[in-house]
């Protein structure tokens, strides 16, 4: 492993942790001596990384440090391209699909020429989407989630007031995860079965992050699983 790769790995390890990590733990994960670890920390700090800590207390990377585009590995670029292509092809509305395509174009625009070629030649493709017809504008649901606002939906023949806080994207269906006032519990609503939707200015009684955490606990989902 080159020193540049090792420095990148150290940054990525630090990014995974919000609390200080002991130096010996970081050195062991990198497979280097403590002397080399201290030298790498000093190098990153000299390049502008806001790493706080000292021997015996641990180290933490504060927000605000961004990697130059040159630092993307080939696999990281493939992941970005595949994810953007998936959203562009499978999004429920044109707005989200266009945003994914625009984001990928912005990334490609600032890459060095050789990495830009990697993006354009990426061979991880997304197949055509299966039929999934949403009767309502999914953009309204995403906006309500961002603003932490209640929605009034018609689901089947029943009108419900819900607190939407997540959307699950599955191969054949999209699921709105929400607290349902009618049931007094968490419920899952398929977007292709929502007959009508009305946005409101009424905020949630609890924060979105709290609802998501509580829902994960009820489902037995680890907090950092990405689900």
Enumerate residue ranges in the chain where pLDDT < 50.
Answer: 69
* CATH number of the domain within which 16 lies: 1.10.10.10
* 110 and 153 inside one domain: no
* 142 and 215 inside one domain: yes
Give the β-pairing of 158-169 and 149-155.
antiparallel
Segment 124-170, tens digit of pLDDT = 777 766 656 667 888 899 999 999 999 999 998 899 999 999 998 88
Q: Is residue 192 one of the residues assigned to a domain?
A: yes
**Confidence at residue 94, expressed as pLDDT on a 0 to 100 scale:** 67
Segment 54-64, tens digit of pLDDT = 788 899 988 76
DSSP secondary structure letter of residue 22: -
Cα–Cα nearest to 78, from 27, 30, 26, 115: 115
* CATH number of the domain within which 202 lies: 2.30.30
Which residue segment(s) compose the domain that 146 sits in?
A: 138-219
**Confidence at residue 146, expressed as pLDDT on a 0 to 100 scale:** 92
Q: What is the tally of structural domains in the chain? A: 3
- Burial degree of 128 (CB within 10 A; 0-12, 13-18, 19+): exposed
* 22 and 40 inside one domain: yes
pTM over 0.85: no
**Confidence at residue 223, expressed as pLDDT on a 0 to 100 scale:** 63
**Confidence at residue 220, expressed as pLDDT on a 0 to 100 scale:** 84
């Amino acid at each position: 492993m080159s020193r540049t790769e090792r420095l990148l790995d150290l940054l990525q390890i630090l990014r995974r942790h919000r609390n200080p990590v002991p130096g010996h733990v970081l050195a062991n994960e990198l497979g280097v001596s403590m002397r080399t670890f201290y030298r790498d920390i000093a190098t990153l700090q000299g390049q502008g990384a806001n790493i706080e800590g000292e021997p015996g207390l641990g180290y933490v990377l504060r927000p605000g440090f961004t990697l130059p585009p040159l630092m993307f590995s080939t696999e990281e670029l493939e992941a970005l391209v595949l994810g953007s292509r998936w959203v562009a092809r499978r999004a429920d509305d044109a707005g989200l699909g266009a945003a994914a395509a625009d984001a990928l174009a912005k990334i490609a625009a600032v890459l060095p020429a050789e990495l830009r070629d990697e993006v354009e030649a990426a061979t991880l493709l997304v197949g055509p989407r299966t039929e999934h017809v949403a009767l309502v504008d999914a953009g309204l649901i995403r906006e309500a989630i961002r603003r932490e606002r209640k929605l009034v939906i018609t689901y089947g023949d029943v009108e419900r007031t819900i607190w939407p806080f997540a959307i699950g994207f599955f191969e054949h269906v999209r699921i709105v995860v929400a607290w349902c006032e009618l049931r007094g519990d968490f419920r899952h609503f398929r977007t292709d079965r929502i007959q009508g939707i009305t946005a409101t200015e009424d905020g949630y009684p609890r924060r979105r992050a709290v609802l998501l955490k509580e829902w994960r606990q009820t489902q037995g989902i680890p907090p950092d699983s990405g689900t």
